[in-house]
Amino acid sequence: MKYDRIMIRYGEMSLKGRNRKHFVQKLKKNIQFMLRDFENIRIESKWDRMFVVLNDEPVDYVVKQLKKVFGIQSFSPVLKTEKNIDAIKAAALHLVEQAHSPGNTFKVSARRTDKTFEYDTNGLNHTVGAHILINVDDISVNVKKPDLKLVVEIRQDAAYLSGEVFHGAGGFPVASSGKAMLMLSGGIDSPVAGFLTMKRGVGIEAVHFHSPPFTSERAKQKVLDLAGKLAQYSGSVKVHIVPFTKIQETIHKEIPSGYSMTATRRMMLKITDEIRNQREGLAIITGESLGQVASQTMESMLAINAVTNTPIIRPLIAMDKLEIIKIAEEIDTFEISNRPYEDCCTIFTPPSPKTRPRLDKIITFEEKLDWGPLLKEAVDGVETIMVSARVKKPENSIEDLF
């Protein structure tokens, strides 16, 4: 006997009455996608739970993948048995025998959705608990802080037993609430901003500004690698690489140096907004954090933001760098972001960018030139790369990890 399925408990989405059906469908599709390398898996979705039926696929790798799926509150590998007390006792004993080491404590925690079952939750706790105490050496009960918590759930169709609860990633299923464009640099912040927005159910496509030969292929690869990390949460991420050299050179020539940073950001935002429009996105995401650098003061944001009415999501706006780094480490982007690279902005950064640019001034400076053809050329020259995350099923898997 071994775990034959994984029971998935939904997260916050259970609060969203009317949207629930849509969320559950989306979650099912996302799980299917994340587990697409495991051909034998079947997914059964119910109103309040979902089951991944393993059909002998390796439970440890499936668990690893499920930890990255947004919309899951928690999940447990489970054993499905007949709804009769002898079968339940046998399965419970089997699970405890597998997991237990001498001196361990345990607790049985029963739940019923089928209230007609012959035992109530107390009766189940006692009967199953007694069976384990009689049959396992050197084990005792501890209801407050057990080493092993055996959950027995009596549902309409069968009984489900589990011994371990894994935390899910929380949030909402990715792409259940539309799509937004993530302005992805090679820095630490923007991948974290993308991750946090995906967690709220938003699908993302990334936009990256690249200025060859001032920025190298390595810098581009770095961004693709970052996108690859984000793709772990959605299966894949499209990256739109914008050729930005000409615009940066023009800004460098035509705009007074104190304002070149503001102009650069404004052009980036305009182009991103045009790509968003073409791709039918609903918002733009950036990694801006208040006060971090010259372009992230309130005055700067006002001057930059003035080019569009599109909602701009800034998940990091009030976070400290250390908080951001902590998340970057958790999602495994920190090391990639720390690779040395040339940022298209740092290369052209003037010695003293204005920290309090004025909107009227930047508009006046920009008006001296017709930016339309340059912007169009950049948008037309976009190269789109699809970055996928694939988890290969191991040849020899460790079947009984639990």
Q: Binder to ligand ATP among 43, 136, 158, 293 (CB under 6 A)? A: 293
Q: Closer to ligand ATP at the Cβ: 141 or 293?
A: 293
Smallest separation, CB 319 to Mg ion (Å): 15
Q: Which stretch binds ligand ATP (CB under 6 A): 2-10, 104-112, 126-134, 177-185?
A: 177-185
Does residue 240 belong to the site contacting ligand ATP (CB under 6 A)? no
Does residue 183 belong to the site contacting ligand ATP (CB under 6 A)? yes
Does residue 267 belong to the site contacting ligand ATP (CB under 6 A)? no
Two structure tokens written together for 336 = 């990639």
- Exposed/middle/buried for residue 23 (C-beta within 10 Å: 0-12, 13-18, 19+): buried
Q: Closer to ligand ATP at the Cβ: 95 or 204?
A: 204
Half-sphere exposure for 214 (CA within 13 Å, toward CB): 17
Q: Which stretch binds Mg ion (CB under 5 A): 102-110, 187-195, 252-260, 369-377?
A: 187-195
Two structure tokens written together for 47 = 């109103």
Smallest separation, CB 315 to Mg ion (Å): 16
Does residue 248 belong to the site contacting Mg ion (CB under 5 A)? no
Smallest separation, CB 190 to Mg ion (Å): 7
- Residues present in the chain in total: 402
**Would strands 72-81 and 159-162 be described as parallel, antiparallel, or unpaired?**
antiparallel
> Tokens 């998935």 appear where?
8
d(CA 97, CA 32) in angstroms, rounded, equals: 32
Provide the H-helix boundaries in 100-158. 121-135
Does residue 184 belong to the site contacting ligand ATP (CB under 6 A)? yes
Smallest separation, CB 342 to ligand ATP (Å): 10
Smallest separation, CB 343 to Mg ion (Å): 5
Hey, is 35 helix, strand or coil? Answer: coil
Q: Binder to Mg ion among 30, 162, 185, 232 (CB under 5 A)? A: 185
Alpha-carbon separation of residue 73 from 6, 70, 173, 243 (angstroms)? 13, 8, 11, 41
CB atoms within 10 A of CB 116: 8
Q: Binder to ligand ATP among 65, 76, 176, 190 (CB under 6 A)? A: 190
Residue 255: name the closest of 348, 183, 185 by CA: 348
Residue 238: name the closest of 205, 209, 271, 207 by CA: 205
Q: Binder to Mg ion among 11, 187, 194, 203 (CB under 5 A)? A: 187
Q: Binder to ligand ATP among 30, 81, 296, 333 (CB under 6 A)? A: 296
Q: Is there a cis peptide before residue 212, judged by omega within 30 degrees of 0?
A: no
Residue 183 interaction partner, one of ligand ATP, Mg ion, none, beta carbon < 5-8 Å per kind: ligand ATP
Q: Closer to ligand ATP at the Cβ: 86 or 330?
A: 330
Does residue 62 belong to the site contacting ligand ATP (CB under 6 A)? no
Does residue 295 belong to the site contacting ligand ATP (CB under 6 A)? yes
Residue 149: name the closest of 109, 102, 111 by CA: 109
Does residue 353 belong to the site contacting Mg ion (CB under 5 A)? no
Q: Closer to ligand ATP at the Cβ: 76 or 337?
A: 337
Nearby residues of 107 by Cβ (< 8 Å), 6 or more positions away: 129, 141, 142, 143, 146, 148, 149, 150
Which residues, numbered 328-367, are part of the site for ligand ATP (CB under 6 A)? 344-345
User: Cβ(236)–Cβ(175) under 8 Å?
Assistant: no
> Tokens 């000409």 appear where?
246
Q: Binder to ligand ATP among 177, 185, 232, 333 (CB under 6 A)? A: 185
Smallest separation, CB 188 to ligand ATP (Å): 5
Edge to edge, what strands does the sheet with 283-285 contain? Answer: 312-313, 283-285, 179-183, 203-210, 236-243, 383-388
d(CA 27, CA 44) in angstroms, rounded, equals: 11
Q: Closer to ligand ATP at the Cβ: 203 or 287?
A: 287
Q: Closer to Mg ion at the Cβ: 185 or 296?
A: 185
Residue 284 interaction partner, one of Mg ion, ligand ATP, none, beta carbon < 5-8 Å per kind: none
* Interface ranges with ligand ATP (CB under 6 A): 183-185, 187-190, 207-209, 286-288, 292-293, 295-296, 344-345
